[in-house]
A and B are shown apart, each in its own frame.
Chain A
Amino acid sequence: MFKALLKKQFAELNASYFQNRKTGKMRSRKSMIGMIVLYAFLFLLIACSFFAVASMIATALVPADFGWLFFVIVGVLSILLGVFGGVFSTYTGLYLAKDNEMLFAMPIPPRKILAARLVGVYAMGLLYEALVFIPSCVAYYLAGGATVASVITSVLMIPILGFLVLTLTCFFGWLVALLSSRLKRKSVITVILSPVFIGVYYYFCLNYYSAIQNLVEHASEVGVKIQSGAYPLYLMGRAADGHIPSFLIFTLAVFLLAALTYYILSKTFLKLATRHASAAKAVYKEKPVKQKNHRSALLFKEWKRFSSSANYMLNCGLGAVFMPAAGIAALIFRGRIQTLLDAFDPPHGILAVIAAAAVCLLSSMCDISAPSVSLEGRNLWILQSMPVSPAEVLDAKLRLHKLVALPPTVFLSVALAIVLKADFESALLMTLFPVIFVMFSAAGGLAVNLLMPNVTWTNEIAPTKQGASATTALSGAWLDAILFGVGGYFACEVIEGYQYLLIAIVVFSFLTRLIQNWIRTKGAEIFASL
């Protein structure tokens, strides 16, 4: 029974990547290899960036016999990333799965349904956690920390920390479910919790590098404080550092915690997953409404879809929060940034290019159009049976993407232009290019989704987070932004920065127009036939 549930769980995941949902057939070998290469590249990119940070810490701590402190730092980082990566998908994955009621109606104990779903949550957390922990282990070995015991325990810590991530993720997921079940309007959860999580994450991203540097500089004092004030962390560090008794105690504690979590969740799973809020019913009052034209109506519908889903907003709209925050931070710390730039003395004109690339990188975290077709799901018949052309429907999806992503993009670009004291031409171009880039990534994301739609999902995470289309669009946009930045770095040795920006604007405008035309013609045909 449990095996069948697991099989169903993984079949669903596998299908979202490798299956054509319309024909039910597996994707072509070429497309499957392409996707695997893309994911491998993406993971390698993230792992390399964490390796760079871990190497810096390991070089300072491991030779000074602070290997355990190194593992405390990278362990906490990997746990945080694992928890952040999984907390909202845990809530929807465990409690809001569309097939929950169907499975509850079958002669399957709810705890087994829960266990099968938890395997998925564990795998997701493990993936995120390992992205930090594995490159950190490599950095640790290279810094001279490798002994037989430390290699064995550090490798074993990867799946063990996965259980700790699972425990924490489940705790937060359970908390969200509990709150949600007591509220009539689920969007309240979104309004309250999303900014909190985004704020915490943003604060963490802004401060973690300086915090780590501070830790490294004051390793002895921090070490003593952790030993006395945060013993479990000390135990975790020692465990990964090859201290066998610590490893055994830590492992036992993690497994006990995970078992306790499973026990508590299984006791409340059925109740929470089937509970309907008992809040006061909203009273309907007739009032005059203004007639909208169908373009506005379609945009309104897209907005409601986006703003009513925490998953959609968090996974596809985070850039809209990060960009204004980055712009404000840049304006506040413009003095420091100027000092830093003066010290580097970069070649003339390159700063505008690098700034534009940075804005593009952040704007690519708004990939709203990428799952928008898949999210129609079982509602697809509504738009298909209405007197609106598929091109108009797709245009509304593009407009929402631009509506959410363009204002913060312009704000951040202008803020960076002020900070860099760019002249008028450069300021204009370094603002214009990210605007074109947003239109390009909106069109690109939508096109990718039309080519890889998944309208038969049972869980919203499938199209917004795990789906091939969302991942491809996001990583594709990242890659484009990085290539643009790297290309600019070399090109500025032969041409002026503003000339490079001008060329990029022309090229990306042309590409955007090409994709938009494809969406209006071939894309519209695909949408009509879904």
Chain B
Amino acid sequence: MLRIEHLTKTYGDVKAVDDLSLHILPGEIYGFIGHNGAGKTTTLKSAVGILAFDKGDIFVDGLSIKSDPLACKAKIAYIPDNPDLYEFMTGIAYLNFVADIFGVSADDRASRIHNYAEVFELTSDLAQPISAYSHGMKQKLAIISALIHDPRLILMDEPFVGLDPKASHSLKELMREHCSRGGAIFFSTHVLEVAEKLCDKVAIIKSGRLIKSGTMEEVKGDASLESVFLELED
């Protein structure tokens, strides 16, 4: 579903990501962990096509993000670490805008907006301008907008930040459900307990380089993910 091959991205003289390769298969929830500034966001942004990279390539369902970015983006949903949305729109106007861009039919979007807004308890706030939303509400709206076109691959940067416990739980369930339908999820997180329970596979990145990846069992063995992570980071 997502194949990252020898990805290298530099900012000036600093290598943010250095020769990183990963392969995320359909049905997988893939966690991406690392310290602040390790290169997680750069990798995610490169995979979404927001950030040009220096070397390597990224493939979504066999299509290169370099040579066929629009076809790749049509299969992807992205939730950034900070949900900066169009504050001049209402929640519902924003969702309809996203649905229009992704070509979601009127019937499909109506049912999806109804379902997801109910799940995240946002229905009664959809007519409100986004500028009146709290951080958590914006995050919920960003999640709904990401799901509205039924993407094959979802890329998320710290998706649980700002969510209340119930919304976090709902998101985890939706993630699992999405993957059981053949989709894939690649997300970064600092919450290692969540990664440990939720992910099928995990990758640990340090100073732009991949230091360990594989199934959760391969990476952590009998230890906890936290202890493995701390050991590798040292």
Q: Which residues of A contact B (CB under 8 A)?
A: 184-186, 276, 281-286, 288-294, 296-298, 300-301, 304-305, 308-309, 377-379, 381-382, 384-389, 528-529
Among B49, B88, B124, point to the contact of A305 (Cβ < 8 A): B88
Q: How far apart are the CA atoms of A308 and B82 in the complex, in Å?
A: 23
| Shortest Cβ distance from B142 into A: residue | A382
Nearest Cβ on chain A to B117's Cβ, whole angstroms: 8
Verify A382–B86 contact, CB threshold 8 A.
yes
> Contacts A282-B128, A289-B109, A294-B101: A381 and B86 contacting too (C-beta < 8 A)?
no
Among B48, B82, B125, point to the contact of A385 (Cβ < 8 A): B48
> Contacts A296-B100, A304-B88, A386-B102: A284 and B124 contacting too (C-beta < 8 A)?
yes
B residues less than 8 Å from A289 (CB atoms): 96, 106, 109-110
B residues less than 8 Å from A305 (CB atoms): 86, 88
Verify A294–B100 contact, CB threshold 8 A.
yes
Q: Does B52 contact A (CB under 8 A)?
A: yes
Among A184, A282, A286, A300, point to the contact of B114 (Cβ < 8 A): A286
Verify B105–A385 contact, CB threshold 8 A.
no
> Contacts A379-B84, A381-B84: A387 and B128 contacting too (C-beta < 8 A)?
no
Among B85, B99, B106, B114, point to the contact of A288 (Cβ < 8 A): B106
Q: How far apart are the CA atoms of A290 and B100 in the complex, in Å?
A: 9
**Stretch touching chain A among B71-79, B174-182, B218-226:** B71-79
Among B86, B90, B100, B127, point to the contact of A291 (Cβ < 8 A): B100
Nearest Cβ on chain A to B115's Cβ, whole angstroms: 12
Verify B70–A300 contact, CB threshold 8 A.
no
Verify B110–A387 contact, CB threshold 8 A.
no
Within 8 A of A (CB), among B127-154: 127-129, 131-132
Sorted nearest first, the 3 A-B pairs with minimum C-beta distance are A297-B100, A308-B88, A284-B127
Among A284, A290, A381, point to the contact of B50 (Cβ < 8 A): A381
Within 8 A of A (CB), among B82-125: 82, 84-86, 88-93, 96-106, 109-110, 114, 123-125
Q: Does B80 contact A (CB under 8 A)?
A: yes
> Contacts A284-B126, A291-B106: A385 and B49 contacting too (C-beta < 8 A)?
yes
Q: A281-B125, A304-B88 are in contact. List 8 more A-B contacts (CB 8 A).
A: A284-B127, A289-B110, A297-B97, A298-B101, A378-B84, A381-B80, A384-B50, A388-B70
> Contacts A276-B132, A291-B106: A304 and B73 contacting too (C-beta < 8 A)?
no
> Contacts A283-B127, A289-B96, A305-B88: A386 and B101 contacting too (C-beta < 8 A)?
yes
Q: How far apart are the CA atoms of A385 and B49 in the complex, in Å?
A: 6
Verify B123–A284 contact, CB threshold 8 A.
yes
Q: How far apart are the CA atoms of A388 and B70 in the complex, in Å?
A: 6
| Shortest Cβ distance from B100 into A: residue | A297
Verify A292–B100 contact, CB threshold 8 A.
yes
A residues less than 8 Å from B96 (CB atoms): 289
Nearest Cβ on chain A to B186's Cβ, whole angstroms: 14
Q: How far apart are the CA atoms of A184 and B127 in the complex, in Å?
A: 12
Q: How far apart are the CA atoms of A288 and B82 in the complex, in Å?
A: 31
Among A185, A282, A288, A386, point to the contact of B110 (Cβ < 8 A): A288
B residues less than 8 Å from A293 (CB atoms): 100
A residues less than 8 Å from B123 (CB atoms): 284
Verify A379–B86 contact, CB threshold 8 A.
yes
Nearest Cβ on chain B to A454's Cβ, whole angstroms: 16
Q: How far apart are the CA atoms of A530 and B218 in the complex, in Å?
A: 39
| Shortest Cβ distance from A184 into B: residue | B132
Chain A to chain B contacts (Cβ below 8 Å), 15 pairs: A185-B129, A186-B131, A284-B125, A284-B126, A284-B127, A286-B114, A292-B100, A294-B103, A301-B97, A305-B86, A379-B85, A379-B86, A382-B85, A385-B76, A387-B74
Verify B73–A281 contact, CB threshold 8 A.
no
A residues less than 8 Å from B82 (CB atoms): 378
Most chain B beta carbons < 10 A, residue from A184, A186, A293, A387: A387
A residues less than 8 Å from B105 (CB atoms): 291
> Contacts A300-B97, A386-B102: A529 and B110 contacting too (C-beta < 8 A)?
no
Nearest Cβ on chain B to A282's Cβ, whole angstroms: 4
Nearest Cβ on chain B to A274's Cβ, whole angstroms: 14
Verify A297–B52 contact, CB threshold 8 A.
no
Q: How far apart are the CA atoms of A285 and B80 in the complex, in Å?
A: 29
Nearest Cβ on chain A to B44's Cβ, whole angstroms: 10
B residues less than 8 Å from A300 (CB atoms): 97, 100
Verify A301–B106 contact, CB threshold 8 A.
no
